Structure 1
Amino acid sequence: MAVVLVFLDEALSIIKRAIRSIIDRTPKHLLREIILVDDNSSNEDLKGDLDIYVKSIQEQNPGLRIGRVRHGEQLGLASSRISGWRAATADVVALLDAHIEVHEMWAEPLLTQIKLDRTVVVSPVFDRVNYYDLAVVNYHASAHAFDWALWCMYESFRPEWYKLNDPSMPGKSPSVMGILAADRKFLGEIGALDEGMQVYGGENVELGIRVWTCGGSIEVVPCSKIAHIERAHKPYMPDLVPAMKRNALRVAEVWMDEYKHNVNLAWRMPFKDHGIDIGDVSERKKLRKRLKCKPFKWYLENVYPQLDPLDDLVASGEMKHMDTNLCIDFGHPPWNTPIADTCQPYGGQYTYYRGSGELYIGRIKSHKYNENRCLVDMGEATHIPGLYQW
């Protein structure tokens, strides 16, 4: 196994803890190499001091290769992980953040699943470690998923997993949060990660859709656990929204077919001429065609049926009174009495009309199990329409 640790201006102590935990808690015959990928850090102690530490580790573990990759400029998370994948030589590669510590027996369950099926991409369960006191908060196993804006979220496993009544069994997952292990060659065969992604965000959803539709699958493995140290802030930029929006549009253009406009809806952007440069996607489209990947409709029906396809949406936008600058608004808490208010572009004034005749006020939800606020005439004496969960 090759373990790739990606970092940007990480504390040296955190990187040392990650390396030490991997060495101490991975059987020596399973761990071939650790690849450190520095995405152009500015911290001085990640240069000479880290070099000294790596040299001491290699002296203590002569059979272990520790590879180093340093970017001359910041390339972002997806490109950094690709750099680590390219530098690896082992049959299986684990792509991890540098701010982690692995639990005992973390590697064996992941390797077992990949040995059974080289086309499966697996993820451990990662507990949260508070950055302010390093206390561990245990997380239960859950599927990794997303909404139409492509923000990551946890999701329940499919009903068949719960019917097994065995919480140690791997569960199928629509996506992957980013920390993963895979057969190194298989990952290359399906296109690794999209190097056209910028900074951070969306690359994991793109990988999840691609794996499922192009011949593989994704599993979360409960018996493998990693402690993930949360960060007070993301190192690349204070606001990830611009990068997330741009990357989400890129994923939609390549993989989502007739459903790609749902990403525009989620971000409140025009379907055409949104003014955001998503980069050249021609090679990714060629990859999809070459791999004979299934359509996104298949993914929605067979992998992630909880995601609402919104395929009966007739219209969306603000509902404005023709003679005034007033728009329908979902009002005040508890948000069940609609009002007319000065038109302004915020969530409470978004409206969506569906082919079923339902009119939703406020942001439409991405998932079938979530309820929207539907404009309803309850037929009461007041004749005042209300907003009710529907």
Structure 2
Amino acid sequence: LYPDSFLFKRWGTDLREEEQTVAQNLFLKYGYNVYLSDRLPLDRLIKDTRSPSCQKKTYPQALPTLSVVLIFMNEALSVILRAITSIINRTPSHLLKEVILVDDYSSNDDLKGPLESHIKSYNAKHFGLLKIIRHQKREGLTQARISGWKASTADVVAILDAHIEVNVVWAEPILSRIKEDRTVIISPVFDNIHFDDFELMQYAVAADGFDWALWCLYEPLPAEWYALKDETAPVRSPSIMGILVAHREFLGEIGVLDGGMHIYGGENVELGLRAWQCGGKIEVLPCSRIAHLERTHKPYLPDLSISVRRNALRVAEVWMDDYKYMVYLAWNLPVENPGIDFGDISSRRELRKKMNCKSFDWYIKNVYPNLLVLPNIVAYGTMKNTLKEDICIDQGPVPGNTPIMYVCHAYSPQHIFYHSTGEIYIGGLRARLNMIDRCLTDPGSGDLPVLEQCDTALNKGLNMYWDFKQGSSVINRNTRRCLEITKDNQASYRLVMQACSGQRWNIQHTLKDWGKTKDL
């Protein structure tokens, strides 16, 4: 019935039509296969994804106690119950002090009465193990995590999503590491539960990082970790994904999470920076595995980038010192008056001062050297020719390395970065050691400019340096040819290299005093 639905690409061939309709409607509502979830056992077994050396490792009996916080907002009831069941079944009962559910103002009926009666029956069996906190209005993910932390009473608090299943012996490695060092904030390793067939897919161990827009990403494991030749060793990580485990009091001492963060995104990067800069550290523990259910769409917002952008500026202004301009560049915003209200940050700045935290310069050099700082960018954003101002330079089709003129939309394929040293980067800001930016070059023959990876262009001595001032020509320093546009037919223009005819270009944003006319 639903040939275009993602749900039925690999699952559901044996369903009758009315069952397909029920399954599809549930899928559209939740973003994962609730029809199947409701039919799977709550205590289903999942594959042990730990390495053989993790499986052999033993842990002391006497470990700190644990509060587990589960955050939800209109989650499927069976998914929440499976999370609770996995935690109760796979955490030693003498260590598990409580499971705290935080409901961020759900509207679904089954999360009211029906959930309450499930909680009662768990509590009858497990002596009041479960607590529930209900927000009286939608407060967003960060605030829900803070509510869970406030309600927790054990030595250690794990703040998790409610769409997870913990794997066997997930808690002991974490608790024993925090027992050794209370200043470590820990991320388990995530495996993935497919949204359609609920099968477990094992993910490789990786560190958590971010780009300059503060979107999270996985980082390759550091060389120092491989040098230890111990698969069970903690991995030093620049940042953390949304799921975290920490010493409850230590997390409080460094300011828990930034309650001024809106809805979703950036709060994890903020915690990572704060932990490292203020005397803590972040580690990923290879022996602790949690399976996380993927969704095809998020419940909070159709477009997450709006809240991530706002939160990113908030992080930049509190923690990034003189490097904060890199975040503005990545989001293509003017550094002065970006026109975005990121809220009051005075209490977070105060916290930073009070704790005598280190600089972002220290963090980049000692914790995250993979994040590159570009000190010479003087102009950035979209770039237009004065002959026709509704089209912009664009990186063109990918794969491919021919930049083109295209209707201006101002998304990252049209982001240009001009350096005072003469390079022109085209197509979003990568600025990471293992992700090379692409530079505009003049091949010297033919009439098409070419995009080359900047490191390749440098090594091959390609013509990659350009003279440009706001409102004037773009001239290649070597070939002395100009970047210009030429009319192909009535409707379309081509980006070409040719003898200079005096065409002029403007770029959207400038930094420092570049391109400003000096007062005479």
Would the TM-score normalized by the shorter structure come out above 0.5? Answer: yes
- By how many angstroms is 1:323 displaced? 4.0
1:385 and 1:232 map into 2 onto residues whose CA distance is 39
CA deviations on 1:257-311 (whole Å, 9 max, x unpaired) are 1111211111111112222111110000000000001111111111111011122
- By how many angstroms is 1:332 displaced? 3.9
Aligned residue identity for 2:179: K
Aligned residue identity for 1:264: Y
* Partner of residue 245 from structure 1, selected from 309, 312, 316: 309
Q: Which residue of 2 aligns with 1:187?
A: 251
* Partner of residue 169 from structure 1, selected from 222, 233, 237: 233
Unaligned runs of 5+ in 1: none
1:327 and 1:102 map into 2 onto residues whose CA distance is 49
Question: What pairs up with 1:1-390 in 2 under 5 angstroms?
Answer: 1-62=66-127, 65-325=129-389, 327-341=392-406, 343-379=408-444, 381-382=445-446, 384-390=448-454
Greater gyration radius? 2
1:324–1:143 CA distance, 2 compared to 1 (3 A): same
Normalising by structure 2, we get a TM-score of 0.72
2:398 and 2:357 map into 1 onto residues whose CA distance is 46
SS of residue in 2 equivalent to 1:89: coil
8 Å contact 1:129–1:135 — kept in the other structure? yes
SS of residue in 1 equivalent to 2:96: coil
> Number of residue pairs matched?
388
CA deviations on 1:1-56 (whole Å, 9 max, x unpaired) are 00000100111111111111111111011101111100011111111111111111
Moved more, 294-303 or 331-340: 331-340
SS of residue in 2 equivalent to 1:32: strand
Moved more, 149-158 or 358-367: 358-367
SS of residue in 2 equivalent to 1:371: coil
1:332 and 1:60 map into 2 onto residues whose CA distance is 60
- By how many angstroms is 1:337 displaced? 2.6
8 Å contact 2:122–2:129 — kept in the other structure? no
SS of residue in 1 equivalent to 2:371: coil
Aligned residue identity for 1:36: L
SS of residue in 2 equivalent to 1:319: strand
1:375–1:141 CA distance, 2 compared to 1 (3 A): same
Q: Looking at both structures, which has the greater relative contact order when contacts are Cα pairs under 8 Å and sequence separation is at least 6?
A: 1
Aligned residue identity for 2:347: E
1:34 and 1:331 map into 2 onto residues whose CA distance is 51
1:100 and 1:348 map into 2 onto residues whose CA distance is 35
2:409 and 2:166 map into 1 onto residues whose CA distance is 48
- By how many angstroms is 1:329 displaced? 3.4
1:66–1:371 CA distance, 2 compared to 1 (3 A): same
8 Å contact 1:161–1:171 — kept in the other structure? yes
Aligned residue identity for 1:45: D
1:237–1:340 CA distance, 2 compared to 1 (3 A): closer
8 Å contact 1:214–1:293 — kept in the other structure? yes
1:96–1:322 CA distance, 2 compared to 1 (3 A): same
1:333 and 1:241 map into 2 onto residues whose CA distance is 23
8 Å contact 2:426–2:440 — kept in the other structure? yes
- By how many angstroms is 1:371 displaced? 1.6
8 Å contact 2:214–2:266 — kept in the other structure? yes
CA deviations on 1:228-258 (whole Å, 9 max, x unpaired) are 1112321112221211111111111111111
1:331 and 1:242 map into 2 onto residues whose CA distance is 26
SS of residue in 2 equivalent to 1:247: helix
SS of residue in 2 equivalent to 1:69: strand
1:148 and 1:224 map into 2 onto residues whose CA distance is 29
2:161 and 2:398 map into 1 onto residues whose CA distance is 41
Quick one: percent identity of the two aligned structures?
56
Aligned residue identity for 1:53: H
8 Å contact 1:67–1:87 — kept in the other structure? no
Unaligned runs of 5+ in 2: 1-65, 455-520
